[in-house]
Amino acid sequence: MTTVSTELALLIDVGSAWAKAGVIGRVRGRWRLVAHAAQPTAWGEAELRRSLVAQLDAAADSRLAGRHEELLAGANRIECHTAQRPGRLAVVAVSRELSGATARRAAEAAGWQVAEFVTLDDGRTLAERLATLQGAEVEAWLVAGGFDDSRSPRALEAAALVASARLLDGGPVVWAGSALLADEVVARFEDGAASAVANPRPDARREEPGALRDRLQAILRRSVAQEDESHLSPVAFARAIGALAADGGLRVLGIDLGARGAVRVLAEPDGSRAVSVHSSGGLAGAAAVGGAAGRVARMAGDAGDEATVADVLQTLRARPASLPQTPEELAATQAAARLQIAAIVDDGGPGPVDLVVGAGRTIACAPHPAQAARMLLDGVRPIGVTQLAIDAASILGPIGSLSDDEIREGMTLLSDDLLVPLGTSVVSRGGEPGEVAMRVTVHRPGWPTPAPVEVRVGQLQVVPLARGQEAELLIEPAPGVSLGAARRSPRVQARATGGAVGLILDARGVPIGLPKRGDDRRAVLAGWRDALGRELERLP
Amino acid sequence: MSVLHRVRLPLGAITTVEVGRRVEPSDVLATRRPPGGGTSLPVATRLRRPAAATAELVRAAPGSLLDAGDLLASDESGHEVRVPEACLFLGYDADDGTALVAPLGATQPILGHVRGEVTAVDAEAIEIRVAGALVTGVGGSGAAVHGELRMAVGEPGEELRAGAIDVGATGKIVIGGSRASAETLTRARAMGVAGIVLGGVRDKELRDFEATQQRRREVGVRGDFAIVMLEGFGKIGLDAGLYAWLRSHEGRMASLFGERALLYVYDADPPPARRALARVGDRVIAHRRPFAGAGGELVRVLDLPHVSASGVTARSGLVRFEDGRSAIVPLANLEATEGHDGA
C-alpha cells in the first residue's frame, strides 16, 4: 500500500447525504484506525477535517498536539464518492407486470434512475403517454415487449411511442424485446442511436436480465458517469467485497444501503462478483414503493400507524441527511431499511453465503449491533450458517478505490479495524409452527459442552459468543426443516465465530411470517427484538 | 434579485416568443397540437401489396408530424397513401398492413406561468429570467398556477381550517400554517383557490386529495390546483421567519409549481436563507420529530456526541426553542436561518 511511508492516511467516503472519514496511523508498529467522523455531506470537507483533528488532538500522542492539521494535510488521501448525478432513463414496455417489470428491475439494478415508466396497459390514453414521454428529461430510453417467437404489434407500438417522443440525438435507445422485431425497431431511429440486446423475457416463464443489465451499465458509464470509475462508491465497494471473498475463500454478500441508492455485491471465493446498483434502492426510495408505509408499520410494530410511518418515509426522502430522534422514527427507519434490503436481494436471491457485510449509515451506525443484525437477517434471510459483519467505519469504499494489490495490502494491514463482526446466524426454513425446528449444540473449546438449544419454528434465540471466540456447532434440523443445502446426514456440523451480538439461531422461516392480528404481531415482534437485544456490546 | 426559470417544450411545439420579450404568467410562450387517440390507417390494401412487403414503401419516419395530405407511403407505380388529417405517425404494422397514427387535436397554448424576460429559446426549452425570489419546498402536488399571495392563518404553526377559505381566496395562492386536512384542500379547490403553501401536510391526506384530483380528471373536470410544502411531512408549521417574510409580501403576485415544489414571489426581497451547518448563536429550525418545524436559538454545541432518545449518537447542540422548550438536538437535524426576523 502506498501509505506505508507516511504517518497517516485519510480515508474518505462522500455519499449523497453523509460523508464519512477515517484516519489510519501507526500505533505501536501496527496500522490502526485512529479517528473517525461522519457528518452530513452539505457541511463540507473543512468541517469533517476539523472533527478529525479534534479527535486526534484528544486521543493521540501529546507530542503531536497542534500538528494534526498539518499531518492530515500531508496524509495520503484515499477517497470514493457517489456519482455526481444519477443517470435518468425512460422505460416504455408493453406490459406492466411482464416486460415492464423485468425492464425496470434490470435498469435499476444497472444503476439507472427510472424517471418515466410507461406501459401500454397503464390505463393512460395514447395522448397522455406521449405527453409524459415528450416531457421526459432523460439520458437514455429502454423499450421492451414481446416474446422472442412473436412479432407483437404492441411491442412495435411501444417502440413507436419512443420514436415519437424522443428528440433527434435525444440519447441512446435500447431495444430489449422480441428478437424478431429487433432490426425493425432499430431502423426507426437515426443511425447509431438504437441497439438491440437479448430479450430479458424471452418467454412467459423465463427472465434473463443479465445481458440487458450489462448493456445498461455500459451505457451509464459512457454517457453519464464520466468520472474515474474506480473512485465511484458502488465500484469501489464491489471491489472491496470481491477482495474480501478472494482473501478468505468465502462467498460474500455485501449490501451498501445509502440514503438514496443501494448496492448489492455477491462475490465468489475466486474474487469474481455480480454487482447491482439500485439508484432508488436506498432509504429515500422507500417512500415511492407502493404500500410501503403499511408494510413498514406492520414490520416495525412500534413505529406508529400507517399514516405516521408515511410521514417518516417522506421525511427520509425530503431530508435524507437528518437523523431519527425518537424510538418510533428509528423503528420506522430500520423497518424501511429491511424492506429495501429485501427488495434488492430478491432480485435474484443470493443462495447460501458465508458472510454478509452491511454498509451504509443506517446499518453500520445502528445504535445497537442487534439492530444492525436484525436489518441484515430480516432483509437478506441468509439461509444456513452465515457470518454477519458491518463496515462500521465506512472503510471498505475508500479501500476498494485502490489498485488491486493495494486493496489486499490495505485489508491485511487494517484487519483489526476493517469490519465489526456481529456474530454468526443459523437460519432455517420450513417446519410446523410451534414445533421444534432445530436442536443446536454449541461446543466451545475448553468449555464443557452444554445441552442442545431447542429452537422452535417462528423463534429467534441468541447464544452468547463474544468477538474473537469460535464454536463448533452440531445442528439437528427437524424433518421438513432446511438449512439451504442438500444434506445426507440428519446432523450438520459447522463453525461459528462470535461478535457483538453472538450466535443467532433463527427459525422464523424464509420469508418471515407475521401474525395477521395487530396485537399478536406486536407481541411476536417484541419477542424477537428482546431476544436479539440481549447483547452486551454497543457499536463503537 | 432574479432567478432563471426553464419551460420545457414538447416535441413539435411552435414558439411564439423571442429572446428579450417580457412575459406575464398567463402569456402564451408556445403552441402545440397534442396527439389524440391512435387510429389505424390501411396502407397495404390501398397499395394492393402484401402487408410485409409494404413496410419498405412507407415514406414517413415513425415519430414524424404529418400535415393533412402529406405522403405516408408510395410505390414505384405512383400509387400513394396520404394522411387525411394532421397526425403523428407512430409506426407501421407489417402484420396487418396498417399504419398507427394519432390525429393531432386542437391547438393548445403552453404557458410559462411566470413573469419575466425571455433569455433563451431553443427547440427543447424557453428560459425566463424572473425578477423576484424563489422559495424551494420539500414536496408538492399539482400543476403550475399563479395568483396573489393571501395569508389565511394568523400564526405560522396554525392549522389551515376549511373555514378560513372564503370567496376572497378565489384565484389566490393561500398561505396556510402547519397542516391542511383533505376536507380543507377540497374546499379550497371548490372555492377556486389557485394554490396552497403550507409548512407541512400529512402524506396520507395529500395522497387522499390527489386521488380525488385524479378522479376529477378522469371524468373531465378541469381546473389547476397546486400544493407546496416548505418544511416537511406531518403537522409541521412554517418557520416563523419565512412566515413573516410571506406576510410582508401579501398581495404580491406569485407563481406556484406543485410537483416541482417551487414558489416564485415577484418583486420580492430575498427570503430567509438556510444554511446546513448551524453555529452557536444562530437562529435554527429543527426538522425531525418531536421538534419538527420548531424554531429557536442554538445555545451551545456539546463537546461530545450525544445519545438521543432513539439511541442514535450524533454531534448535538442545546437549542432554546421559541415556544419555551429547550432540548438537545442532533446538529444534522438543524438548519440555520438567516435574514428576516421571525421572532
> Smallest Cα–Cα separation from A323: which of A392, A259, A239?
A259
Paired residues of B307 in beta bridges: B313
DSSP string of A6-17?
A: SSEEEEEEE-SS
Q: Which of B61, B276, B291 sits opposite A40 (nearest CB)?
A: B276
Q: Provide the pLDDT for residue A349.
A: 67
C-beta atoms of A157 and B91 within 8 A: yes
How large a percentage of chain A has pLDDT more than 70? Answer: 95
**Is residue A216 within 8 Å of residue A223, measured between CB atoms?**
no
C-beta atoms of A319 and B287 within 8 A: yes
Mean pLDDT to the nearest integer, A463-477: 94
Evaluate if residue A43 carries a pLDDT over 50: yes
DSSP string of B128-156?
A: EEEEEEEEE-SEEEE-EEEEEEEE--SST
Evaluate if residue B8 carries a pLDDT over 90: no
Q: To the nearest 10°, the Cα dihedral for B211, B217, B221, B226? A: 60
Render pLDDT for A106-117 as a digit per residue (tens, 0 to 9): 887 777 888 899
Min CA distance, A142 vs chain B (Å)? 16
Would you place residue A131 in the very low, low, confident or very high pLDDT band (cuts 50, 70, 90)? confident
Paired residues of A355 in beta bridges: A252, A387
Q: How far apart are CA A296 and CA A307, in angstroms?
A: 11
Q: How far apart are CA A459 and CA A124, in angstroms?
A: 47
H or E element at residue B199: strand B195-201
Closest A-chain CA to B96: A153
* Test mutation, A164, A189, A374, A535, chain B, max B CBs within 10 A: A164
Residue B250, number of CB atoms within 10 A of its CB: 12
Mean pLDDT to the nearest integer, B261-280: 95
Higher pLDDT: B305 or B64? It is B305
Q: Provide the pLDDT for residue A226.
A: 59
Edge-first strand order for the sheet with B65-66 is B39-42, B98-103, B87-93, B65-66
B94 at A interface, C-beta within 8 A? yes
DSSP string of A25-49?
A: EEETTEEEEEEEEEEEGGG-HHHHH
Helices (H), A166-258: 182-186, 210-223, 233-248
Q: How far apart are CA B319 and CA A426, in angstroms?
A: 46
Paired residues of A139 in beta bridges: none
Q: Provide the pLDDT for residue A48.
A: 95
C-beta atoms of A126 and B36 within 8 A: yes
Mean pLDDT to the nearest integer, A237-254: 95
Lowest model confidence (mean pLDDT) among A268-272, A531-535, B19-23: A531-535
Render pLDDT for B186-225 as a digit per residue (tens, 0 to 9): 999 999 999 999 999 999 999 999 888 888 877 877 778 9
Evaluate if residue B37 carries a pLDDT over 80: no
C-beta atoms of A325 and B330 within 8 A: yes
Which residues in chain A are contacts of B291 at CB distance < 8 A?
Answer: 325
Mean pLDDT to the nearest integer, A154-178: 88
Min CA distance, A364 vs chain B (Å)? 12
Q: Provide the pLDDT for residue A540.
A: 40
**Is residue A422 within 8 Å of residue A390, measured between CB atoms?**
yes
Render pLDDT for B295-341 as a digit per residue (tens, 0 to 9): 999 999 999 999 999 999 999 999 999 999 999 999 999 999 987 55
Q: Provide the pLDDT for residue A136.
A: 84
Q: Which of B36, B202, B313 sits opposite A127 (nearest CB)?
A: B36
Mean pLDDT to the nearest integer, A164-178: 89
Residues 6+ away with beta carbon under 8 Å from B279: B298, B301, B336
Paired residues of B195 in beta bridges: B173, B226
Q: Which of A42, A163, A315 sits opposite B276 (nearest CB)?
A: A42
Render pLDDT for A439-466 as a digit per residue (tens, 0 to 9): 999 999 888 888 999 999 999 999 999 9
* Test mutation, A162, A188, A316, A325, chain B, max B CBs within 10 A: A325
| Mean pLDDT, rounded, of chain B | 92
Q: Provide the pLDDT for residue B337.
A: 93
* Test mutation, A41, A88, A125, A315, chain B, max B CBs within 10 A: A315
How large a percentage of chain B has pLDDT more than 70? Answer: 99
**Is residue A175 within 8 Å of residue A68, measured between CB atoms?**
no
Closest A-chain CA to B125: A135
| Mean pLDDT, rounded, of chain A | 89
**Is residue A504 within 8 Å of residue A378, measured between CB atoms?**
no
> Smallest Cα–Cα separation from B272: which of B322, B342, B197?
B342
Q: Which of B55, B124, B290 sits opposite A325 (nearest CB)?
A: B290
Q: Provide the pLDDT for residue A1.
A: 42
**Is residue B170 within 8 Å of residue B193, measured between CB atoms?**
yes
Mean pLDDT to the nearest integer, A14-42: 90
H or E element at residue B20: none
Render pLDDT for B93-121 as a digit per residue (tens, 0 to 9): 777 889 988 888 889 899 999 999 999 99
* A222: amino acid identity, one letter: R
Q: Provide the pLDDT for residue B93.
A: 79
* Test mutation, A189, A311, A333, chain B, max B CBs within 10 A: A311
Q: What are phi and psi of A370, to 5 degrees?
A: -65, -35
B91 at A interface, C-beta within 8 A? yes
Q: Provide the pLDDT for residue B219.
A: 80
C-beta atoms of B204 and A42 within 8 A: no
B321 at A interface, C-beta within 8 A? no
C-beta atoms of B61 and A130 within 8 A: no
A-contacting residues in B 108-137 (Cβ below 8 Å): 123-124
**CB pairs A-B closer than 8 Å:** 170
> Smallest Cα–Cα separation from A510: which of A473, A441, A462, A457?
A457
Q: How far apart are CA A15 and CA A334, in angstroms?
A: 19
DSSP 3-state of B324: coil
Q: How far apart are CA A144 and CA A167, in angstroms?
A: 19
DSSP string of A157-203?
A: HHHHHHHHHSPTT---EEE-S-GGGHHHHHTTSSTTTEEE---S-SS
C-alpha cell recorded at residue A437: 425446528
Whole-structure pTM value? 0.86
Higher pLDDT: A291 or B222? It is A291
C-beta atoms of B232 and A319 within 8 A: yes
B277 at A interface, C-beta within 8 A? yes
Min CA distance, B26 vs chain A (Å)? 20
> Smallest Cα–Cα separation from B237: which of B276, B197, B193?
B197
Mean pLDDT to the nearest integer, B144-168: 94
Which residues in chain B are contacts of A151 at CB distance < 8 A?
Answer: 94-95
ipTM score: 0.86
How large a percentage of chain A has pLDDT more than 90? Answer: 58
Q: Which of B138, B289, B310 sits opposite A367 (nearest CB)?
A: B310
Q: Tell me how long chain A is.
A: 540
C-alpha cell recorded at residue A4: 506505508
Residues 6+ away with beta carbon under 8 Å from A451: A441
Q: How far apart are CA A246 and CA A238, in angstroms?
A: 12
Q: How far apart are CA B110 and CA B31, in angstroms?
A: 6
| Cα angle A503, A432, A355; round to 5 | 30
Evaluate if residue A534 carries a pLDDT over 70: no
B51 at A interface, C-beta within 8 A? no
Parallel, antiparallel or unpaired: strands A8-14 and A76-81: parallel
Widest CA span in chain B: 89
Would you place residue A2 in the very low, low, confident or very high pLDDT band (cuts 50, 70, 90)? very low
Q: What are phi and psi of B134, to 5 degrees?
A: -115, 130
C-beta atoms of A326 and B289 within 8 A: yes
Render pLDDT for A48-101 as a digit per residue (tens, 0 to 9): 999 999 988 887 777 777 788 888 888 889 999 887 777 889 999 999 889 999
Q: Provide the pLDDT for residue B343.
A: 44
> Smallest Cα–Cα separation from A202: which of A144, A142, A148?
A148
